[in-house]
Amino acid sequence: MDKKAGFNLGYLMFALLAILFLRSLWTQGESVQTLPYSTFEQYLRDGKVDSVTVGDQLITGHLKVPAPGGQTSVVAAIVEPAMAQRLAQFDVPYSRTFEPTWLRDLASWVLPTALFFGLWYFLGRKFAAGMGAGGLVGIGKSKAKVYMEKQTGVTFDDVAGVDEAKAELQEIVEFLKNPKEHGRLGARIPKGVLLMGPTGTGKTLLARAVAGEAGVAFFSISGSEFIEMFVGVGAARMRDLFEQARANAPAIIFIDELDALGKARGAFPVAGGHDEREQTLNQMLVELDGFDPSVGVVLLAATNRPEILDPALLRAGRFDRQVLVDRPDRKGRLAILRVHVKKIKAAADLDLDQVAAITVGLAGADLANVVNEAALCATRRRAESVTLSDFTQAIERIVAGIEKKNRMLTPKERQVVAYHEMGHALTALALPGADAVHKVSIIPHGIGALGYTLQRPSEDRSLVSRSELMNKIAVLLGGRAAEKLVFDELSTGASDDIAKATDIARDMVMRYGMDEGLGYVAYAENAPRFLDVAGATTYRGGDASPETAQKIDAAVRGIVHDAFETAIALLRDNRATLDRCAQALLDKETLDEAEILGLTADLRRTA
């Protein structure tokens, strides 16, 4: 509001003044001659005037004959009669000063107006500033603080065990170092990069390292700090944050705990709603959409709960680059330990690899804690340096604490998980048409997932055959098949797999008409895929007769059963390979594509 209003007001005042000034010039100029009052009276007496107009303060006379200067009228300021009479006897010219009143008139209304607008503008600015500095207006004082560091002093060397994430962020570093060169070929830098991973894996550290590597300013703010704010303040804050960063470009904006801010809108409706959070989130989206990365500002954010984020955040042009920052495997843990052990006085014969081997499931922050705790142990016993036994003690202490928080796996459970994941991987490798296996891991991941098998879609397919879908289901059930085969036992770990397999089987029967017995009939409506909402397909189960519904159930069950049999037969056939791979996975915790291919050279593909 204020800027525009102030601007227009200035114009208006200028125009008014100009008009009045010109008018006064005109009235005084050419056609009218200003006279002392005495002279005016003389003119009257001399009969030079043919008509007179009396105003409040001025008297104007029209001349019979225009004056030599071309004026056709004369004007004089009226002197009161009493005064005029007294002055007339002295026979001197007398006049009343001509006091132009327009200036005073103008001032009497312009000044208050200007003052009013000025005050408004001033207060508005102060209020906005108060949100930041907590100055004038206490109510607007926000909890969320923007932390600005000119130099974080952190480099990639300080972050270990997350090589993939570092490699992905390297591009951002290159861009920030030289925004112009980067845009030379029109390449677009991602506006927003989302670091996802469990707590303590070094997301914040990585973000600061990116700033440090690129040598740019680092603006950070935490999503959770926005929550308790007054409505509107958070959005103002967000605008401020982007403005500051732009002014200091090249720079990095880092929003920690994005999930606190970016929860799916309306996902957890609370009485009264979360207006503030939504406004702040919307403001962030507006800023994100509006900003041009070529000025050299990159937005980084971190979350440990990507699954609850508003899908709008992940759309193209927003946080369109997602970087996984996972718990480290054994090699990674060793690297992280090395970084932190530099800061303490370790015994010469300390074997860090052993420490890495017994810290399964610990994240970077836990490992930093272990090193510190071990140093404390050594200090307590007045030793010269930190030894392996100090580490063992420290680990016991820390793991006990962590186990209480998030249960760690027992050796037996790890074994089950290893077989389960290899079951997925081997079926995927052995069955034609399944996606290539990219990575297998038994590092707990996210909520509820104890391990994972990453498959890399080989190509975008729009047409999928029935046998390929069958194979897909078999791969999904491969985990449970391995558990059944090896331990002859079912576990709860496969619930997600089974839900997915069932979905595919149901689609095959109800949408794609792939069951001979039921005929090529669709029993489900294809819901418009406007928003990619899971479960958008509505099944017309209600329309089907009870007999048909029964047949559908039977068909779905049949498909899942067949696929499971395929998986179990395959794994039975390759039992030696399965054992070997599971053991390797237990040792290394993660296997990449090359390692898996190396271990499965003798895989038999037909069941």
* Contacting positions for Zn ion (CB under 5 A): 479, 497
From the list ligand ADP, Zn ion, Mg ion, none, pick the one residue 234 interacts with, judged by a Cβ distance below 5 to 8 Å according to partner type: none
Residues in the interface with Mg ion (CB under 5 A) total: 1
Query: Least Å distance between CB 354 and ligand ADP?
Result: 19
Binders of ligand ADP among 364-393, rule CB under 6 A? 364-365, 368
- The verdict on 255 binding ligand ADP (CB under 6 A) reads no
Beta carbons within 10 angstroms of residue 419's beta carbon: 26
State which of residues 161, 223, 361, 444 lies at the interface with ligand ADP (CB under 6 A): 161
- The verdict on 162 binding ligand ADP (CB under 6 A) reads yes
Query: Least Å distance between CB 303 and Mg ion?
Result: 10
Identity of the residue, 130 or 479, whose beta carbon is nearer to Zn ion in the bound complex: 479
Identity of the residue, 160 or 211, whose beta carbon is nearer to ligand ADP in the bound complex: 160
Residues 523 and 541: beta-carbon distance below 8 Å: yes
Binders of ligand ADP among 44-63, rule CB under 6 A? none
Type of residue found at 175: F
- The verdict on 362 binding ligand ADP (CB under 6 A) reads no
State which of residues 236, 302, 559, 599 lies at the interface with ligand ADP (CB under 6 A): 302
Query: Least Å distance between CB 160 and ligand ADP?
Result: 4
From the list ligand ADP, Zn ion, Mg ion, none, pick the one residue 279 interacts with, judged by a Cβ distance below 5 to 8 Å according to partner type: none
**Minimal CA–CA distance to 331: which of 118, 171, 507, 160?**
160
Q: How far is the C-alpha of 19 from the C-alpha of 25, rounded, in Å?
A: 10
Query: Least Å distance between CB 201 and Mg ion?
Result: 9
Q: In Å, how far are 21, 24, 159, 176, 257 from 32, measured between CA atoms?
A: 16, 11, 88, 72, 78
Give the strands of the sheet with 436-441, arranged side by side. Answer: 452-456, 436-441, 590-592
Binders of ligand ADP among 577-606, rule CB under 6 A? none
Question: Measured at the alpha carbon of residue 81, what is the angle toward residues 80 and 87, in degrees to the nearest 5?
Answer: 90
Q: How far is the C-alpha of 279 from the C-alpha of 269, rounded, in Å?
A: 15
Told to judge if 421 belongs to the known catalytic residues of this protein, a careful annotator would answer yes
What mask of x and - would describe binding to ligand ADP in positions 329 to 348, judged by CB under 6 A? -------x--x---------
Match 């060169």 to its residue by tokens. 181
- Helical H runs in 345-465? 352-357, 364-380, 388-405, 411-430
Stretch that binds ligand ADP, among 58-66, 70-78, 157-165, 409-417 (CB under 6 A): 157-165
- The verdict on 204 binding Mg ion (CB under 5 A) reads yes
Identity of the residue, 202 or 479, whose beta carbon is nearer to Zn ion in the bound complex: 479
Torsions phi, psi of 64, nearest 5? Answer: -65, -45
Identity of the residue, 72 or 199, whose beta carbon is nearer to ligand ADP in the bound complex: 199
Residues 382 and 421: beta-carbon distance below 8 Å: no
CA 304 to chain centre: 14
Identity of the residue, 197 or 479, whose beta carbon is nearer to Zn ion in the bound complex: 479
State which of residues 33, 201, 303, 359 lies at the interface with ligand ADP (CB under 6 A): 201
Peptide bond into 112 cis (omega under 30): no
Stretch that binds ligand ADP, among 82-90, 198-206, 284-292, 456-464 (CB under 6 A): 198-206
- The verdict on 350 binding ligand ADP (CB under 6 A) reads no
Q: Residues 168, 421, 483, 589: which is the catalytic one?
A: 421
Stretch that binds Mg ion, among 198-206, 468-476, 517-525, 570-578 (CB under 5 A): 198-206
DSSP state of 224: G
| Residue 432 DSSP SS3 | coil
Identity of the residue, 219 or 419, whose beta carbon is nearer to Zn ion in the bound complex: 419
Binders of ligand ADP among 203-232, rule CB under 6 A? 203-205
From the list Zn ion, ligand ADP, Mg ion, none, pick the one residue 200 interacts with, judged by a Cβ distance below 5 to 8 Å according to partner type: ligand ADP
Query: Least Å distance between CB 176 and Zn ion?
Result: 39
**Minimal CA–CA distance to 146: which of 245, 257, 232?**
245
Q: How far is the C-alpha of 213 from the C-alpha of 439, rounded, in Å?
A: 29
Pairing of strands 49-54, 217-222: unpaired
**Minimal CA–CA distance to 328: which of 305, 351, 306, 361?**
361
- The verdict on 444 binding ligand ADP (CB under 6 A) reads no
- The verdict on 200 binding ligand ADP (CB under 6 A) reads yes
Question: Which DSSP string do the residues of 241-307 spell out, in sequence order?
Answer: HHHHHHHT-SEEEEEE-HHHHHBPTTSS--TT--HHHHHHHHHHHHHHHH--GGGSEEEEEEES-GG
Query: Least Å distance between CB 527 and ligand ADP?
Result: 38
CA 58 to chain centre: 71
Identity of the residue, 242 or 419, whose beta carbon is nearer to Zn ion in the bound complex: 419
From the list Zn ion, ligand ADP, Mg ion, none, pick the one residue 34 interacts with, judged by a Cβ distance below 5 to 8 Å according to partner type: none
Residues in the interface with ligand ADP (CB under 6 A) total: 17
Pairing of strands 590-592, 436-441: antiparallel
State which residue has the least CB distance to Mg ion: 204
Q: In Å, how far are 266, 463, 527, 530, 577 from 536, measured between CA atoms?
A: 17, 20, 6, 9, 40
State which of residues 202, 250, 296, 493 lies at the interface with ligand ADP (CB under 6 A): 202
- Residues of this chain that interact with Mg ion (CB under 5 A) are 204
- Residues of this chain that interact with ligand ADP (CB under 6 A) are 159-162, 199-205, 302, 336, 339, 364-365, 368
**Active-site residue list:** 421
